[in-house]
Chains A and B, each alone.
Chain A
């Protein structure tokens, strides 16, 4: 890995950016964006995380392999969030009453069969 050193100025600038973004987060908390509240807070947080990784943690001077691993970390976070959300997002889609109706409908098939001559004993058992 090359030994590039960033100037102090860069670090101060990034620090300033992080502070400004923190202020923005706090400010945004006072305004109601409705369902976007979380998305906005998360977007700012991700931006800040990227700045830290890219500059403070020197990923930008890393070799491709190092970058792949850094990206993989993010990708796995996306897997965690996305596959958890597929549960929460699709829960309201479920129609339990329709399920019940379907089960009852299937059950009539068995009742009809039980009523056939020769199957009487099965019918009475239930």
Chain B
């Protein structure tokens, strides 16, 4: 394996099955996550495709109402719990955090492997339970429908989601301890790449919020299976209590999804404009601000639930506040571009896409946190469009951008740039064509979660379904050319982008222990020299 003068790397160090399934190497575990997460992404995507196919016409011609209910539930649960939540942290975070801080592995390598097994067991159990038993509660499991009336395999699905939560908690714990304790000499907090800062903030949410979801699901389980009155009014419970507990996790969970993608963005904007991120300290602290503020706003999901309007006012005002640190990030990335030496490789296209989509998603979030407007658009396609702009437009752009950016490091191969640019374009166009019409549909009053609709909504629905097909091609292309590049891609040098950061100073792919000797860090992240930009492009 030394033909090209490279040392044995983590991929060809050994080839046995057990060397993969019992590995404690954070990079191999990242690959395991990459494969499993991709499978769940395409399962979730398949159900999205069926939903869009049904909505092509106003009549319910493909599915019956209850089948459609199961479809969107499956789409939601798989995409949120088994793809979006683990996506960036479990794949890119796992691979990069130890390397970026100059460590040989995470603090608890075995716990890292355990978290993958927990994820696989929980996710498989829940997905099978929904596919075989059918669950029609939506991904939110609202009570008392989920505890009393719904007929499907709700209990088993909840057990699956409950189990998966522990994978998230363990990953968060691992990252926190690693970032606190394993930084190389000289790697001070304000020399950390912003990717690491974002994951630190994310890990805090994972550790502090996920147990509350676990408790909420456990209580739901108790009520459904043992008829202990907690949420069901007939048994003396309060259904709104479930919403409080559920959203205490599930609003911050949006930041579990988006913060790591924001971390990717910071890396991309620095690397492709050859500049230090403008206002580095502010961007770093805004991650923490988003993580902490994000815990005080959950009631904005409950404006029409019977929650006290005074509580609604407090939640509304606090929700507006989250816009501030989010805007700090978006503005500082834009300011980073100023006088930068910008190049337009694929990851940067995703970064530009992120800014556009995240801005639309974020601003429509302000519409929704305005109580009076929310009453009008609550449970309509406006909400669906909004959270897809954040969660698909934001998170997936970050995930794909990051995957392209670090693909040469992860695999040691270059992907075909022209195809990648085409797919980035397809994703951006397809995404907007899919979800922008849904803002209009929602504003005109089309409710979510119905498979039939009045005829005047058809044109916009056809646009949306058309966009979904373009989007589907955009997502399918990377799968093809990434796999192709493994065999036919050009071998990547250590630093194909000419970027700064410890991960670019070691060979591609890295050796099993990343560094032969623990590096001593002497400069801040993004120490791009002034004249550096002139060499490029």
Residue ranges of A at the interface with B (Cβ–Cβ < 8 Å):
65, 72-73, 76, 79-80, 83-84, 86-91, 93-94
Contacts and interface: CB of A to CB of B under 8 A. Distances in A.
B444 interface: no
Interface residues on B, range: 10 to 19
A93 B299 contact: no
Contacts of B307: 87
Contact of A86 (B212, B241, B245, B311): B311
B371 to A, nearest CB: 13
A90 B314 CA distance: 11
A73 B310 CA distance: 27
Interface of B is mostly: helix
Interface in B240-289: 240-241, 244-245, 248
Contact of A84 (B208, B244, B309, B310): B244
Interface string B37-61: 0000000000000000000000000
Given A72-B208, A87-B244, A87-B299, A65 B310 contact: no
Contacts, number: 41
Given A79-B296, A80-B248, A86 B208 contact: no
Contact of B308 (A73, A79, A91): A91
Contacts of A88: 308
Contacts of B248: 80, 84
Nearest to A72: B208
A90 B310 CA distance: 6
A76 B240 CA distance: 20
A89 B310 CA distance: 10
Nearest to B315: A83
B308 A87 contact: yes
A83 B245 CA distance: 11
A86 B245 CA distance: 14
A83 B296 contact: yes
Contacts of B315: 83
Interface in B188-222: 208, 212
9 contacts: A72-B208, A76-B295, A79-B296, A80-B212, A83-B299, A84-B241, A87-B299, A90-B310, A93-B310
Which among B180, B311, B315 has the highest number of chain A CB atoms within 10 Å? B311
Contacts of B241: 84
A65 B296 CA distance: 24
Contacts of A80: 212, 245, 248
